[in-house]
């Protein structure tokens, strides 16, 4: 910004009267105030961004580690395989949790009685048997042996180990008793409790237990949704833009269509969700919670933005390109398809990626078509039940367990990484294929 000079009383100036000089000073003062307001607004926006990122990072970084307890588990063949078939399909999966509890009792032989044992079981996750089952399933030859396994601690123990729960609080004010704290400290001193990388966050889908919950199902669902959106929105949006810009007659009807396209870009996203609910689910009877329906809704929402961006890219192609092609005997369709559209394609792709990045963060229209279903497995196809990343964040943010607080922030970090990658791709395409006329 160019600095503004103070008014000067120079010989021959038009502002010779005292009143004129006062008006000039007021105008310069107003300019300086406007500049100060702009700087303050930018500073406040940057401060809010820093606070947002710090909050997300501070809460979410803990989700990438998980407190694990090392236990020596005896994999009794009769307990795991009561039918004796040797087939993993016949294993009693519930028995693995019993084996984990037996190993915990052996680790603390001085603990006896129903109530103390129940408190002792609070050290380990109630789904630790699932992790044990998965490890044994990878190597069934371990059945009948005694092995050491790192198994996840319970959510409360995990939170107090990470400092999310203040252990100095009175016992009645925290979910972990003094006795459990003493057991945990004993395991830490013996090297049997430590923090490990939480690979489950990336390899598992949703769960009621935070130590068993992950984002894999939501990531796969988001990819399916984006594929459907691109396949529908890009060709329809580009075809519409080409017709409106190159072939449509200029009359009041096309002006009306253009105004409505511009208005649709500003319609709240939940309206598109209601449209998808009424048309795709109510009229056509398509399945709820499916990436196909979610992609169709997001495609409808992205279409106005893609059309507007594509028309701007077509307008940016100089008329001389069209005139040269027509002068060489090409038809209007050949001129557009062989010359204008390829030159406008970088701008179209940039606008499309930005529209998709914006649509990926939308939650309201997807909630309307049932994408908030509790799905514990990644979708196997476009018609399978699925969730998506922004909806997964919404579901976890509403969960009461403390562990979901850090999972929510971690999922937001993954979603932000997706958006940054897509915007980075748009910038790269613009820089690589940009042409100056």
Asked if 82 and 66 touch (Cβ cutoff 8 Å), the reply is no
The CA distance from 211 to 201, in Å, is 8
Alpha carbon distance 28, 42 (integer Å): 21
- 380/57 Cα distance (integer angstroms): 32
What are the pLDDT digits (tens) for 106-151?
999 998 888 999 999 999 999 999 999 999 998 888 888 899 999 9
Q: Across residues 182-202, what is the average pLDDT?
A: 92
Asked if residue 412 lies in contact with residue 60, where contact means CB atoms within 8 angstroms, the answer is yes
**Orientation angle between helical segments 389-397 and 403-433, nearest 10 degrees:** 160
| pLDDT at res. 165 | 87
Helix (H) or strand (E) holding 150: strand 146-152
**How would residue 1 be classed by pLDDT, with cut points 50, 70 and 90?**
very low
Per-residue exposure over 342-358, b if at least 16 CB sit within 10 Å of its own CB, e if not: ebbbbbbbbbbbbbbbb
**Nearest to 303, CA basis, from 335, 332, 275, 333:** 275
DSSP 400: -
DSSP string, 239-264: HHHHIIIIIS--SHHHHHHHHHHHHH
- Mean pLDDT over 218-236 rounds to 91
Is residue 2's pLDDT more than 70? no
Residues 144 and 77: beta-carbon distance below 8 Å:
yes
The confidence score (pLDDT) of residue 14 equals: 56
CA 302 to chain CA centroid, nearest Å: 18
Question: In the predicted model, is pLDDT for residue 95 greater than 50?
Answer: yes
Q: Which residues are 65's β-sheet partners? A: 197
Q: Is the pLDDT of residue 72 over 90?
A: yes
pLDDT tens profile 255-283: 999 899 988 888 888 898 899 989 998 88
Residue with tokens 């998506």: 388
**331 has a pLDDT exceeding 80:** yes
Does residue 302 contact residue 355 with C-beta atoms inside 8 Å?
yes
Burial category of 111 from C-beta neighbours within 10 Å (exposed 0-12, middle 13-18, buried 19 and up): middle
CATH code for the part of the protein at 217-433: 1.10.3720.10
Instruction: Give which of 369, 406, 396 is closest to 208, Cα–Cα.
Output: 396
Element (H, E) at 271: helix 269-276
Strand order in the sheet with 65-74: 146-152, 65-74, 193-197
DSSP state, residue 398: T
Q: Which two tokens stand for residue 421?
A: 């990658």
CA distance 374 to 207: 8
DSSP letters for 86-142: --GGG--TTHHHHHHHHHHHHH-TT--SHHHHHHHHTTB-TTHHHHHHHHHHH-GGG
The domain spans of the chain are 66-197, 217-433
The C-alpha atoms of residue 91 and residue 271 are separated, in whole angstroms, by 49
What does the pLDDT average to over 352-379? 83
What pLDDT is attached to residue 398? 86
Residue-wise pLDDT for 7-64, tens only, equals: 555 555 555 788 888 888 999 999 999 999 999 999 999 999 999 999 999 988 889 9
- pLDDT value, residue 437: 64
Within 13 Å and on the Cβ side, how many CA atoms surround 53?
8
Using H for helix, E for strand and C for coil, what is the string for 281-332? HHHCCCCCCCHHHHHHHHHHHHHHHHHHHHHHHHHCCCHHHHHHHHHCCCCH
């Amino acid at each position: 910004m160019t600095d503004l000079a103070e008014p000067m009383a120079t010989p021959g100036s038009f502002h010779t009267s005292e009143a004129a000089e006062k008006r000039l000073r007021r105008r310069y003062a107003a300019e300086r105030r406007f500049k100060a307001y702009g700087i303050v607004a930018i500073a406040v926006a940057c401060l809010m961004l820093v606070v947002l990122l710090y909050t997300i990072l501070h809460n979410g970084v803990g989700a990438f580690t998980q407190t694990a307890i090392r236990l020596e588990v005896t994999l009794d063949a009769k307990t795991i395989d009561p039918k004796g078939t040797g087939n993993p399909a016949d294993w009693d999966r519930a028995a693995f949790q019993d084996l984990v509890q037996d190993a915990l009792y052996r680790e603390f032989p001085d603990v006896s009685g129903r109530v103390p044992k129940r408190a002792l079981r609070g050290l380990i996750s109630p789904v630790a048997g699932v992790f044990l089952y998965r490890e044994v399933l990878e190597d069934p030859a371990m059945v009948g042996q005694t092995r050491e396994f790192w198994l996840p601690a319970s959510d409360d123990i995990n939170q107090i180990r990470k400092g999310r729960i203040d252990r100095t609080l009175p016992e009645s004010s925290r979910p972990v008793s003094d006795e459990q704290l003493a057991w945990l400290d004993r395991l830490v001193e013996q090297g049997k409790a430590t923090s490990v990388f939480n690979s489950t966050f990336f390899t598992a889908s949703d769960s009621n237990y935070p130590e068993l919950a992950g984002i894999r199902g939501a990531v796969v669902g988001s990819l399916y949704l984006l594929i459907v959106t691109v396949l529908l929105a890009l060709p329809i949006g580009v075809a519409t833009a080409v017709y409106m810009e190159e072939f449509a007659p200029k009359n009041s009807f096309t002006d009306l269509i253009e105004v409505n396209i511009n208005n649709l870009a500003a319609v709240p996203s939940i309206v598109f969700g209601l449209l998808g609910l009424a048309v795709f689910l109510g009229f056509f009877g398509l399945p709820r919670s499916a990436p196909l329906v979610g992609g169709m809704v997001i495609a409808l929402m992205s279409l106005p933005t893609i059309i507007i961006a594509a028309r701007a890219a077509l307008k940016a192609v100089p008329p001389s390109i069209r005139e040269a092609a027509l002068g060489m005997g090409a038809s209007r369709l050949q001129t557009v398809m062989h010359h204008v559209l390829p030159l406008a394609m970088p701008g179209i792709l940039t606008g499309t990626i930005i529209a998709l990045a914006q649509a990926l963060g939308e939650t309201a229209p997807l909630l309307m078509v049932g994408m908030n279903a509790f799905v514990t497995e990644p979708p196997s196809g476009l018609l399978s039940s699925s969730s998506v990343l922004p909806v997964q964040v919404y579901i976890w943010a509403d969960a009461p367990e403390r562990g979901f607080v850090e999972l929510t922030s971690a999922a937001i970090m993954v979603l932000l990484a997706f958006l940054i990658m897509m915007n980075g791709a748009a910038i790269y395409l613009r820089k690589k294929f940009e042409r100056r006329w």
